[in-house]
Structure 1
């Protein structure tokens, strides 16, 4: 994960979003302290339980014979 200072993140927000989509979560720091992460939406949905499972995931979660 990359880390960016708040000032840099504000100045280059579009670039920050593009980097998160391409390379994964980006950490925003304030005064050298990690504050928040910019995470691609699909990853956030998976982490928060909002993503709909794929057919394969549903089948794999069932009982085994």
Structure 2
């Protein structure tokens, strides 16, 4: 993975984009510290597909979502009623 400074990435963006599509992800640094990575679109889509499903997807899924354990009800005491 090649590292680019922000200024180089800004000035030579087309070259960095070409390097990304040919060589893979490109690191962008800011003052010597890793700030961002430019990745090919195909790799981005692959990474996004591995992300955990959203709540909507979980609720609409045909498979079960797990066992719901409901504790047995006991003979609890009621709170005393207050007379105001």
Match of 1:8 in 2: 8
Q: Structure 1: which 4+ aligned runs deviate by more than 4 Å?
A: none
Larger Rg: 2
In structure 1, the gaps of 5 or more residues are 51-65
Deviation at 1:25, TM superposition (A): 0.1
- Between the aligned partners of 2:5 and 2:38, the Cα distance in structure 1 is 13
What CA RMSD, in Å, does the superposition of the two structures yield over aligned residues?
Answer: 1.1
In structure 2, the gaps of 5 or more residues are 51-84
Match of 2:80 in 1: none
Higher strand share: 1
Equivalenced residues, count:
50
Deviation at 1:5, TM superposition (A): 0.4
- Between the aligned partners of 2:10 and 2:20, the Cα distance in structure 1 is 14
Matches within 5 A, 1:26-45: 26-45=26-45
